[in-house]
């Protein structure tokens, strides 16, 4: 299989084909640039698959990544290829395709659309951020056009594969299996690590109008000698029931009021880490609030956690899902991290990168693919309770549909549940969703 591309925006286009063809489909190919090519052409024998180029018309990133280059409307369609139905969202170009004897011509620029979703260059544009300087899901093109809860890059992958099969490709695609990936940001390992600490904590809750009733609830735990945040065994048993490894991301620094009090050196926390390791689960890093654009803080916290855990740490997620594109990814890359799972919107569940497969990230300003993989977070319980505040029935329906979408494409359903949420009123109403995930039958 040979791919011919225009001699413009070559790093970006090569990266996108690498993800679509090599990473996601597992196929081998050769790629060539042509000074006369305007579109992207995949050649298999005597058949050509032409994907029209509607975006990569300039070789300057500063010109490419501009607000005026965002479409005002995304048109969806259902394509029938060899008798099978395929949904498509045309971010760039038209949602149509035609066929001649020798060519299949795709008018939807799925190369630019895939690049758009994987790199999230949309989020580098000036615009509204929340108080934590986070890009809001509600402001994304995906949310505003009704496809944030659909893995549209996976849809593109299936369309490309359908056309390759139609062109009589002889290679076999990569085989995948659906997997549930439990992750847990351990912001506060224990609410009552000591007697006095517990008393002070309960007092703070009881004098708060917002958390008074949580304070009453925590007082009941305290009087029984129990810790409402010591729910780690629930996560361990749940993952073991599924036959998968759970990922526990620990904090290793406290630099401002959005970071909880540091507990990493406490004997109970060290014992918890050893328990997790002994059970065969994974320890990762949950870098503090300010670390997302500070290489010094990030590096210090990584080294500290590695020292306490007695092992290398190569995975994790940013605290508060804070992310600056591409700065944060480069921090992780420079510290030789294997994968990050920050990419989810705090205010909306769904597919921030449009995909449920791990993928290598891309620095849009340095114009290069990094070694770091992103495993996009699809569901966080805090999003349901704090931001969306939807009923349990509605939450179950939407979460169930997310899982079905991921299963359809044999992807990774990455979800986050905090140990502190199971006994906190704002989130505990969704506990049955967690139970249903652990009881999910593949």
pLDDT of res. 138: 96
Indicate whether 198 belongs to any domain: no
Indicate whether 195 belongs to any domain: no
Same domain, 139 and 186: no
Indicate whether 23 belongs to any domain: yes
- How far, in Å, are 250, 283, 286, 287, 400 from residue 259 at the CA level? 12, 19, 11, 10, 32
Closest CA to 19 of 101, 114, 131, 146: 114
pLDDT of res. 205: 87
pLDDT of res. 314: 98
Burial of residue 377 (CB within 10 Å: 0-12, 13-18, 19+) is: buried
Phi, psi of 313 (to 5 degrees): -120, 125
Tokens of 241: 């029931």
Same domain, 65 and 117: yes
Q: Residue 104 and residue 151: Cα distance in Å, rounded?
A: 24
Same domain, 131 and 184: no
Indicate whether 216 belongs to any domain: no
| Residue 32 near residue 4, CB atoms below 8 Å | yes
C-alpha 135 chain-centroid distance: 14
Give the pLDDT means over successive 10-residue stretches in the chain (442 positions).
97 98 98 97 95 95 92 93 97 96 96 98 92 96 97 98 96 97 98 87 89 90 93 98 98 94 95 98 98 98 98 98 98 98 98 98 98 98 95 97 98 98 93 97 76
Same domain, 234 and 255: yes
* CATH label of the domain that carries residue 321: 3.20.20.370
Closest CA to 376 of 209, 26, 142: 142
Closest CA to 61 of 15, 108, 4: 15
Same domain, 161 and 116: yes
Same domain, 234 and 280: yes
Same domain, 154 and 288: no
The single-letter DSSP state of residue 244 is: -
Per DSSP, helices labelled H in 178-211 are 195-206
pLDDT of res. 211: 85
Strand partners, 86: 79
* Angle, CA 173 vertex, CA 170 and CA 174 arms, to 5°: 150
Phi, psi of 249 (to 5 degrees): -105, 115
Q: How many domains does the chain have?
A: 2
pLDDT of res. 126: 80
pLDDT of res. 257: 92
Same domain, 135 and 256: no
Verdict on whether the full-model pTM lies above 0.95: yes
The alpha carbons of the chain give a radius of gyration, in whole angstroms, of 23
Q: DSSP strand E in 274-365: where? A: 282-285, 315-316, 339-340, 359-363
Same domain, 183 and 136: no
Indicate whether 197 belongs to any domain: no
Indicate whether 219 belongs to any domain: no
pLDDT of res. 441: 81
Same domain, 247 and 147: no
pLDDT of res. 244: 98
Same domain, 297 and 351: yes
Tokens of 76: 């969806």
Same domain, 13 and 122: yes
The single-letter DSSP state of residue 126 is: S
State the sign of the Cα–Cα–Cα–Cα dihedral 67, 69, 73, 76. negative
Indicate whether 319 belongs to any domain: yes
- How far, in Å, are 246, 308, 348, 408, 420 from residue 233 at the CA level? 11, 21, 28, 30, 13
Indicate whether 39 belongs to any domain: yes
Q: Residue 115 and residue 442: Cα distance in Å, rounded?
A: 31
Burial of residue 371 (CB within 10 Å: 0-12, 13-18, 19+) is: exposed
Boundaries of domain holding 418: 179-190+229-438
């Amino acid at each position: 299989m040979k791919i011919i591309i225009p001699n413009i925006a070559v790093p970006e286009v090569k990266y996108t084909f690498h993800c679509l063809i090599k990473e996601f489909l597992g196929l081998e190919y050769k790629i060539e640039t042509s000074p006369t090519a305007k579109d992207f052409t995949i050649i298999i024998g005597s058949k050509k698959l032409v994907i029209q180029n509607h975006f990569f018309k300039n070789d300057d990133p500063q010109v490419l990544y501009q607000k005026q280059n965002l479409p005002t409307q995304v048109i969806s369609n259902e394509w029938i290829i060899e008798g099978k139905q395929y949904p498509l969202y045309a971010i760039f170009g038209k949602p149509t395709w035609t066929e001649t004897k020798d060519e299949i011509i795709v008018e939807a620029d799925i190369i630019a659309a895939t690049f758009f979703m994987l790199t999230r260059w949309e989020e580098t544009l000036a615009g509204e951020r929340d108080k934590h300087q986070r890009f809001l899901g509600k402001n994304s093109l995906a949310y505003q056009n009704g496809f944030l809860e659909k893995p549209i890059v996976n849809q593109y992958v299936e369309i490309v594969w359908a056309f390759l099969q139609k062109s009589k490709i002889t290679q076999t695609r990569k085989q995948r299996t659906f997997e549930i990936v439990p992750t847990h940001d351990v912001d506060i390992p224990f609410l009552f690590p000591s007697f006095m600490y517990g008393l002070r904590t309960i007092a703070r809750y009881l004098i708060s109008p917002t958390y008074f009733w949580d304070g009453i609830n925590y007082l009941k735990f305290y009087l029984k000698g129990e810790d409402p945040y010591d729910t780690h065994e629930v996560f361990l048993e749940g993952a073991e029931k599924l036959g998968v490894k759970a990922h526990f991301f620990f904090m290793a620094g406290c630099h401002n009021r959005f970071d909880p009090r540091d507990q990493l050196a406490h004997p109970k926390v060290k014992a918890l880490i050893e328990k997790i390791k002994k059970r065969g689960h994974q320890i990762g890093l949950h870098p503090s609030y300010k670390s997302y654009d500070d290489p010094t803080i990030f590096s210090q916290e990584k080294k500290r956690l590695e020292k306490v855990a007695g092992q290398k740490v190569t995975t994790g997620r940013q605290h508060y899902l804070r992310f600056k594109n591409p700065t944060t990814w480069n921090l992780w890359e420079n510290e030789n991290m294997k994968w990050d799972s920050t990419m989810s919107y705090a205010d909306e569940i769904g597919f921030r990168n449009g995909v449920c497969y791990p993928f290598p990230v891309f620095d849009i300003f340095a114009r290069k693919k990094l070694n770091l993989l992103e495993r996009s977070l699809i569901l966080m319980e805090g999003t349901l309770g704090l931001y969306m505040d939807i009923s349990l029935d509605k939450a179950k329906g939407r979460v169930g549909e997310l899982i079905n979408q991921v299963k359809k494409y044999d992807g990774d359903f990455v979800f986050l549940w905090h140990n502190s949420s199971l006994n906190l009123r704002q989130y505990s109403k969704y506990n049955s969703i967690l139970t249903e995930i652990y009881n999910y039958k593949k």
